[in-house]
Amino acid sequence: MNTLSPSPLAMVPFVSVDNMMRLVNSIGAAQMILEICEYIEADFKRWPEFDKTPRVAAHSEEGVIELMPTSDGEYYGFKYVNGHPANMARGFQTVTAFGVLAKVLNGYPVLFSEMTILTALRTAATSALAAKYLAPKGAKAMGMIGNGAQCEFQALAFQKVVGVETVRLYDIDPLATEKASRNLKSSGLNVIICRSAEEAVTGVDIITTCTADKQNATVLSDNMVGSGVHINAIGGDCPGKTELHRDILLRANIFVEYPPQTRVEGEIQVLDEDHPITELWQVINGQADGRTSERQITLFDSVGFATEDFSALRYVHHQLKNGGHYINLDLLADPDDPRDLFGMVIRAKSAK
């Protein structure tokens, strides 16, 4: 009964930013990425069970606000997320997010969580999962162009899941690279600061592009990509925003999450609709080929999809019983008589 003493049914576990940081630090960032990766892989293996739709996006000149929903029939999940490239100059975060996981049976939420940090973890986990199936065997070196908020998470993911030992960093802002290098100092990775994008991708097995500007850019040009490389393209994630020269796409075997969304938002938005692509879940399930030769260029054109957020929320929900890193919110009105919502309000007044 929602008066002065809420019913237990009305209480929803809430993982705040502070508690998410406590959860990450109690498990370890790299280990948590690995475990989220396992949840994402498990959900990709049952891909046909999910409701799938491109995210609902409200675009403006300033950025984008998106809703990302999905359901596996037992649980429903969604994420609210924004992307505003100019925010940093205004003193705001470029990307912020929160999410909800609910039971389909009764529609009641079972988790309300911050997802700014969690999205960084799940994005890194998804990148590493794709590389697990697509990167050259024995890949040890990765070049990373764009050293902003995603950088360290990506580096740790590729170290933990793929076995990368060296990361070569470049950003147009040297302070971003210095920040990333400082944060990765105790990771065990060999971190090399580079003076150009060309230097960052020299001699590497994997190239990650992760820039923030909302424009069609050539972060990676065709002559920078040699045979046998795996490209993890995660910065192009909305209409009119790409990072790779078109000729790279024509040389590569391209793998995506959900084609109807990626064709609008990903690198492949510059290609014809009938250009061949492969869905990552098919590779994970053994229904399609991934890397087939040493000289093949593989490209994971990742824009982020709702099932990945669902997996991350499912993971956090399962962690609540272990760490207790949450508080209960009185979020749901729960009158004794479902027909008497107004009466509940009146009784609350008199109870005071």
Contact in structure between 182 and 171 (CB atoms under 8 Å):
no
Does the active-site annotation cover 173?
no
Burial label for 308, CB within 10 Å (0-12, 13-18, 19+), is buried
Burial label for 107, CB within 10 Å (0-12, 13-18, 19+), is exposed
Phi and psi angles of residue 252, each rounded to the nearest 5 degrees, phi first: -100, 155
Counting Cα atoms < 13 Å in the Cβ hemisphere of 266 gives 28
DSSP state of 136: P
Number of alpha helices (DSSP H) and beta strands (DSSP E) in the chain: 12, 17
Q: Point out the catalytic residue in the list 205, 237, 301, 309.
A: 237
Q: Who's near 244: CB < 8 A, 6+ residues apart?
A: 209, 218, 219, 220, 231, 233, 236, 267, 299
Q: How far apart are CA 138 and CA 205, in angstroms?
A: 9
Q: How far apart are CA 296 and CA 228, in angstroms?
A: 5
The tokens for 84 are: 């505003």
Q: How far apart are CA 4 and CA 135, in angstroms?
A: 57
Element (H, E) at 143: strand 141-145
Map residue 70 onto helix, strand or coil. Answer: strand
Query: Tokens 């940093």 — which residue?
Result: 88
Element (H, E) at 264: helix 259-265
Q: Who's near 267: CB < 8 A, 6+ residues apart?
A: 233, 236, 242, 243, 244, 249, 254, 299, 301
The tokens for 71 are: 């359901």
* Residue positions annotated with a catalytic role: 237
